[in-house]
Structure 1
Amino acid sequence: MLLPALFLILGLVLGLLTNITIPEVYSNYLSIAVLAALDTLFGGMRSQLEGKFNQSVFISGFFFNVSLAAFLAFIGVQLGIDLYLAAIFAFGVRLFHNLAIIRRIMLEKFQFRKKE
């Protein structure tokens, strides 16, 4: 669980320290890609805490989620529909759900250690 969190922090620090600007045309794609990546990251952390982590599922899920989200955004742009909003909603709901479960697991572990 430490490795994904470490790379998340490293990515945030590098992103804040560099002066890279993303063209506005790609902002929808980037927002969906970031949400998909965060969803996969927190899903991996959750499965690690539950003892169910599988590296191949994590890596394939990461690339599949990011690719599917970018594809939805692309199709939406071609059709003139804000289809990327569906992906944002889906990944946002899953992200908060995973965070809630991670919080519960961490609280249970903390309370169990506190009792001992």
Structure 2
Amino acid sequence: MIAVLGLVVGVVVGLLVRPEVPAVVEPYLPIAVVAALDAVFGGLRAMLDGIFVDKVFVVSFLSNVVVAALIVFLGDKLGVGAQLSTGVVVVFGIRIFSNAAAIRRHVFRA
């Protein structure tokens, strides 16, 4: 319940304040969001499987975001940022859909 309340408060504050993302961070934000979603879906899957550990979730969440941002940063410096960004999104997308399928199987007992 606290998580849902925090989500609602965060969305309302974000809509009211309208924060601006600095131009330097803009290329990394979508990748960071996809990496964070991967950690959230993985955490939900672990919770449904009964093996959720909050420390593992926090480390997974932070490390996914940092590693994804570093890969995109490295790609930008090498001049292949778009290609590496696409690769990161594909990898995390596969993981998200894999976790979503496991969650669906668990929820519907299929």
**TM-score past 0.5 threshold:** yes
Match of 2:44? 45
Give distance in 1, aligned partners of 2:45 and 2:103: 6
The structure where helix makes up a greater share of residues is 1
Query: Contact 1:4/1:45 (CA < 8 Å) preserved in 2?
Result: no
1:50-100 Cα distance to aligned partner (Å, 9 max, x none): 001111211111111011000001001101102121111111111111111
Number of residue pairs the alignment of both structures matches? 108
Normalising by structure 1, what TM-score? 0.78
Which aligned pairs between 1:72-111 and structure 2 lie closer than 5 A?
72-81=71-80, 82=82, 83-108=84-109
Match of 1:54? 53
CA RMSD of aligned residues (A): 2.2
Structure 1 counterpart SS, 2:51:
coil
Give distance in 2, aligned partners of 1:106 and 1:26: 37
Match of 1:36? 35
Which aligned pairs between 1:13-28 and structure 2 lie closer than 5 A?
13-28=12-27
Question: 1:36/1:23 Cα in 2 relative to 1: closer, same or farther (>3 Å)?
Answer: same
**Unpaired segments ≥5 residues, structure 1:** 112-116
